[in-house]
Structure formats: C-alpha cells, structure tokens
Structure 1
C-alpha cells in the first residue's frame, strides 16, 4: 500500500505531508537531472523553451538564466496544482516580467499554439502519463520543425522503483517512451549514458520531424 501511495504522490504531489516530502525529495534527487537536461538542450538566448512536469522549479531556474535575449521565453507545465503553485512562487519575478509562463495542465492537452517551441526538456516525468502516445503527439504538435527534446532519467533507480511497485505498468521503460516518440513523428530518437561527477544517468534525444 505504501508503494502505491508513494507512486501517486510522485505522479501528482498534493498539498499534504506526503506531497511536501515528495517536493523535498524532488528538489534533492532531480537537481542533477534537471540541470543536465537544460545543458543538453543547447538553449539559445532567443529560444522558446518548454519544460514538462516542472515540479518545484529547479529546471525552470536553470533554463531562464540562458534566455538572455528579449525574445527568449520559458514555458512550464505541470499536472500537480501543488507543484504549479510552488514554481509560481519561485519564478514570480520572471512571470511578472513576462519572461516565464506557467500552466497547470495535462501534458496531453497543452494550451500552446502549434510549431512555437524550439526546445523541450523534462526529467522523471513521462512514467506517470496515462497515454505515452497522446503525450508524445502533443509535444510534437507544439514544437517547431527540427526542434530538440531532451529527457533525463536514472534507469537503475526506475528499475528499483518498478520492482517495489512504486511505478506501475510498463510506461517507465525508456524503450516504451522512445517507441511512442517515433510513432508520433520524432526522428533521431536515441538514448545515451551520461556521467555527472559520480552520478550515471541517461538522456533521451528526439528531434521533431515535420
């Protein structure tokens, strides 16, 4: 039962003791993944950048620093109202200035126009989407032709959580997600092992073919 409750909070943290603990866990555990996802995107100063499942806002902070051109814009979406509010507080000055826009919504139904996003990144996120194909199709829809998406994860940790039944089903496996990306119009889909100091993680790359 504890595994199911933890999995539920990881997928949609709520304003509760469990949600608060998950927010602290994400702040510590996701820092390396978030920062590396941002760097691997190759963000340019005037890009429009989208983070999926932004959580407490660590990746948003890293990406915002790179958007130094007046045309640079950062968008974040998260299904959790708790995480949405937490990130809004963290990013409030940049939201007020118009540099950052946050949406509380489902990845499969984002209020964004087609062909408007240059770069997309996310970490520890896709495992909780009910339908990977719908999510991947929606990401592809909002991206510009040739836009790059980066996903970072730690495969060994995912396998452990799955064995403990924290992550349900088969959506957690990178091969399942990469297959959904290919089916949704992405090309050059691949996964590479990466190293950050003593931490090994994986990065999935996908380019929006249109």
Structure 2
C-alpha cells in the first residue's frame, strides 16, 4: 500500500506532507539528470523549448539561462497543480516577462500549436503517463520537423522502484517508451549510457520526422 501511495505522489505530487517530501526528493536527486537533459538537448539561444513534467523547476531554471535571444521561449507543462504552483513561484519574473510560459495540463493534451517547438526535454517523467502512445503522439504533434527530444533517467534506480511496485505497470521500461516514440513518427530513437562525475545514467533521444 505504501508503494502504491508513493508511486501516486511521484507521478502527481499533491499539497500534502507526502507531496512536500516528494518535492524535496526531486530537488535532491533529479538535479544532475535535469541539467544533463538540458545540455544534451542542444538548446540554441533563439529556440522554443518545452519541458514535460517540470516538477519544482530545476530543468526550467537551467534551460532559461540558454535562451538569450529575444525569440527564445521556454514552455513547461505539469499535471500536478502543486508542482505547477511551485515552479510558477520560482520562475515568476520570467513568466511575467513572457520569456517562460507554464501550463497546468496533461502531456497528452497540451494547449500548444502544431509544429512550434524546437527542443523537448524531460526527466523521470514518462513512467507515470497512463498511455505512452498518446503522450508520444502529442509530443510529436507540437514539435517542428527535425526537432530533438531528450529524456534522462537512471534505469537501475527506476527498475528498483518498479520491483517494489512503486512504478505502475510496465510503462517504466525504456523499450516501451522508445516503441511508442517510433510508432508516433519519431526517427533515430536510441538510448545511450552517459556519465556525469560519479553518476552513470541513460539518455533517450528521438527526432521528430514529419
């Protein structure tokens, strides 16, 4: 029962003691993965960039620093109202200036126009989507032709959570997500091992073919 409750909070943090503890966990354990997802995305100063499941805002802060041209725009989406509020508070100045736009919404139904996003990144996120195909199809829809999507994770840690039944079903498996990406129109879908100091992690890449 505790595993199921923890899994729900990881996928949808709420304004509660458990949700607060999850937010602290994400800040402590996701920082390196978030920063690497940003760097591996190859963000250019004038890009339109989207982070999926932005959580408390670590990746948003890293990505915003790279968008130095006037046309550079950062978008974040998160299904958790608690995470949306937390990130909105952290990014309030950039949100007020129009440089950053945050949406409280489902990844499978984003209020974005077709073919408008250059780069997409996310971290420890897709495992909690109820339908990987719907999520991947929506990501593909909003991306420009040739746009790059990157997600980072530590597969061994995710597998350990799944073994304890914290992760729902089999969606956590990288091959399941990669298959959904290919089925949704992405090409050059691949996973690579990466290393940052003492941390070995994995990155999945996919290019939006249109």
What is the correspondence of 1:19-98 to structure 2 with a 5 Å cutoff?
Answer: 19-98=19-98
CA distance in structure 1 between the partners assigned to 2:151 and 2:59 by the alignment: 12
Report the TM-score, using the length of structure 2 for normalisation: 1.00
CA-to-aligned-CA distance 1:70-94 (integer Å, 9 cap, x gap): 0000000000000000000000000
Backbone CA RMSD of aligned residues? 0.3
The secondary structure found in structure 1 opposite 2:69 is coil
Deviations 1:110-167 (A, max 9, x none): 0000000000000000000000000000000000000000000000001100110000
Residue in 1 that maps onto 2:159: 159
Displacement of 1:168:
1.6
Distance 1:90 1:33 in 2: 19
In the alignment, structure 2 segments of 5+ residues that lack a partner are: none
Task: Tell me, in whole angstroms, the C-alpha distance in 1 between the residues paired with 2:130 and 2:165.
Answer: 16
- The equivalent of 1:186 in structure 2 is 186
TM-score by length of 1: 1.00
Q: Aligned residue for 1:18?
A: 18
Separation in structure 1 between the aligned mates of residue 111 and residue 8 of structure 2, nearest angstrom: 25
Report the Cα distance in structure 1 between the residues aligned to 2:162 and 2:87, rounded to whole angstroms.
Answer: 28
Rounded Cα–Cα distance in structure 1 between residues aligned with 2:168 and 2:119: 29
- Return structure 1 stretches of 4+ with deviation > 3 angstroms: none
Mapped partners of 1:3, 1:151: distance in 2? 24
Instruction: Give unmatched runs, 5+ long, in structure 1.
Output: none
1:36-56 CA-partner distances (Å, limit 9, x unpaired): 000000000000000000000
Tell me, what secondary structure is at the counterpart of 1:114? coil
SS at match of 2:82: helix
Matches within 5 A, 1:82-121: 82-121=82-121
Could you tell me which residue of structure 1 aligns to residue 195 of structure 2? 195
**Aligned residues between the structures:** 210
Q: CA deviation at 1:12?
A: 0.1
SS in 1 for 2:187: strand
Q: Distance in 2 between matches of 1:33 and 1:71?
A: 26
